[in-house]
């Protein structure tokens, strides 16, 4: 048996490359990583790829990409190696065979004499008799020598009750019905999850196993196997499910569960996503919500993980992301804007000249960077770079009946704005100059045509901000064009 690590805390994240990585997987990795950081321990990344039928090409690389995006790093893993290499299970088959031989020599593993069809028939018979199917009730009296052509099964050494403590769920127990002879190594030579993850945890000196609550029912089997190998089991911490937005069931594809990198593609910041995710099922001792990784590493604790499922909330995620967007430097924010800006806008001849002017508007209006594309589709960007197209009637406020009055309002606005000094042409001075005239003649009557002349759309920033962003020359020119249209 491998000697355990000398570190107080050694944890692992061991995903299977069988498809996209969803938020439940990522939160498990995050909690394990924070637990290691809090305790100055070791965080190991291990790829559990023994289910070859379900393996998806490129999924392993995808897992690493997700973890790196959110900022999770590891001390040992398939890409960087370590003292327990290799860290991909399909490369560790000899190790599993060694442990299988230990069990065989103890009389605690045997060649399965039944075909899959025979096992299925036994299962159906149990269903017809309305009782639980237990393979151990059909265990052969004599074991054939295992030659690797048949599955190798674990022989449960003692049928008994098991009690254990879970750091999240407290004291748990299960009766003999939870124990059965399960497959250790399949006929294709690959071990099952139930076997190889325990072997790896022993070999790598894992002290804390942090994973989803769906594994609670299998822990008695794991305890039985640890016992058979004369190894003290690690400490268990099972995590509650992440629920859909309705709070009724585990978040799944049908409920909008997405590949974690889709959030990256939609313009969520990794720091915001991490901050949101850590609070899905865990809470600090106070009401604080915004944390740095260093702060989380100091205060994170498994005993504050809740037992009930945590409800997914897109609105809260967007709130976090907007908070982190507001904290970006102007340079970094501009880089994201450039990445997400639609090509139609970026290809305009004056894009580079004017884009910096509208950064404050974009920053104010988006929750994630993909919202920039939505702004474009609503017509909220192009008018900053090109003069808008509209008909003269659009300039009229709903209460105004005579378009000639609208023309007079625009002519007076042109006159007022012309008097503002070029170096003082900002939203405050523009508002101060126009406000009395707008109040005297009806704010809607005056400000609507001014705003429409500048933007050409129904929904846009207020006319004072618009004029300030466009600059004096462009503002006066657009108002003159509007006057000529009438």
**Catalytically annotated residues:** 253
3-state class of 185 per DSSP?
Answer: strand
| Contact residues for 139 (Cβ-Cβ < 8 A; gap 6+) | 110, 155, 181
| Contact residues for 98 (Cβ-Cβ < 8 A; gap 6+) | none
Which residues on neighbouring strands pair with residue 163, listed in sequence order? 173
Name the DSSP class of 381: S
Q: Dihedrals φ, ψ of 77, to 5°?
A: 180, 175
Structure tokens belonging to residue 117: 């069809």
Q: Which of 462, 456, 442, 463 is nearest to 398 (CA)?
A: 442
Residue 61's alpha-carbon distances to 16, 68, 84, 269, in angstroms, are 11, 11, 20, 21
CA angle 166, 156, 131 (to 5 degrees): 90
3-state class of 59 per DSSP?
Answer: helix
**Helix crossing, 219-228 with 193-203: angle to 10°?**
60
CA distance linking residue 166 with residue 415, whole number of Å:
75
* CA-CA-CA-CA torsion sign (153, 156, 162, 165): negative
Q: Which of 347, 328, 364 is nearest to 469 (CA)?
A: 364
CA distance linking residue 29 with residue 43, whole number of Å:
9
Q: How would you label 130-139 residue by residue, b for 16+ Cβ within 10 Å and e otherwise?
A: eeebbbeeeb
Going by their DSSP bridges, the two strands 109-111 and 152-154 should be labelled as antiparallel
CA distance linking residue 21 with residue 78, whole number of Å:
17
CA distance linking residue 244 with residue 241, whole number of Å:
10
- Cβ atoms of residues 397 and 406 within 8 Å: yes
CA distance linking residue 45 with residue 14, whole number of Å:
6
Largest CA distance in the chain: 104
| Contact residues for 126 (Cβ-Cβ < 8 A; gap 6+) | 132, 133, 134
> Does an H or E element contain 38, and which?
helix 23-38
For residue 53, the number of C-alpha atoms closer than 13 Å in the C-beta half-sphere is 4
Q: Which of 168, 190, 284 is nearest to 236 (CA)?
A: 168
């Amino acid at each position: 048996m491998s000697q355990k690590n000398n570190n107080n805390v050694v944890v692992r994240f061991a995903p299977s490359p069988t498809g996209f990585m969803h938020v439940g997987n990522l939160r498990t990795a995050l909690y394990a990583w924070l637990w290691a950081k809090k305790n100055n321990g070791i965080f190991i990344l291990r790829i559990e790829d023994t289910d070859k039928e379900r393996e998806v090409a490129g999924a392993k690389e995808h897992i690493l990409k997700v973890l790196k995006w959110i900022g999770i790093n590891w001390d040992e893993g398939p890409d960087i190696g370590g003292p327990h290499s290799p860290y991909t299970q399909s490369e560790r088959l000899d190790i599993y065979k060694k442990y299988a031989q230990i069990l065989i020599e103890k009389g605690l593993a045997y060649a399965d004499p039944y075909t899959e069809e025979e096992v299925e028939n036994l299962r159906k018979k149990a269903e017809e008799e309305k009782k639980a199917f237990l393979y151990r009730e059909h265990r052969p009296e004599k074991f054939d020598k295992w030659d690797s052509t048949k599955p190798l099964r674990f022989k449960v050494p003692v049928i008994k009750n098991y009690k254990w403590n879970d750091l999240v769920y407290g004291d748990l127990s299960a009766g003999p019905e939870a124990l059965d002879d399960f497959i250790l190594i399949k006929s294709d030579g690959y071990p099952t999850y139930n076997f190889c993850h325990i072997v790896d945890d022993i070999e790598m000196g894992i002290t804390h196993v942090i994973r989803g609550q769906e594994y609670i029912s299998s822990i008695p089997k794991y305890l039985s196997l640890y016992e058979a190998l004369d190894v003290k089991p690690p400490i268990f911490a099972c995590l509650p499910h992440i629920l859909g937005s309705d709070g009724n069931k585990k978040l799944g594809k049908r409920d909008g569960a997405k590949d974690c990198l889709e959030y990256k593609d939609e313009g969520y910041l990794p720091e915001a996503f991490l901050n949101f995710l850590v609070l899905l099922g865990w809470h600090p001792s106070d009401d604080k919500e915004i944390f740095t990784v260093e702060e989380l590493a100091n205060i994170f604790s498994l005993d504050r993980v809740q037992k009930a499922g945590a409800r997914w909330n897109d609105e809260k995620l967007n709130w976090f992301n907007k908070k982190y967007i507001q904290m970006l430097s102007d340079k970094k924010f501009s880089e994201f804007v450039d990445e997400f800006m639609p090509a139609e806008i970026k290809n305009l001849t004056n894009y580079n000249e004017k884009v910096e002017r509208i950064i404050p508007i974009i920053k104010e209006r988006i929750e994630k960077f993909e919202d920039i594309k939505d702004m474009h589709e609503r017509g909220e960007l192009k008018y900053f770079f090109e003069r808008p197209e509209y008909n003269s009637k659009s300039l009229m406020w709903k209460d105004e009946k005579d378009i000639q009055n609208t023309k007079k309002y625009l002519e007076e606005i042109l006159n007022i704005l012309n008097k503002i000094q070029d170096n003082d042409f900002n939203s405050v001075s523009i508002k101060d100059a126009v406000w009395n005239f707008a109040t005297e003649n009806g704010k809607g009557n005056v400000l609507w045509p001014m705003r429409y002349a500048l933007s050409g759309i129904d929904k846009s920033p207020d006319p004072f901000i618009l004029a300030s962003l466009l600059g004096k020359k462009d503002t006066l020119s657009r108002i003159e064009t509007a006057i000529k249209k009438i």
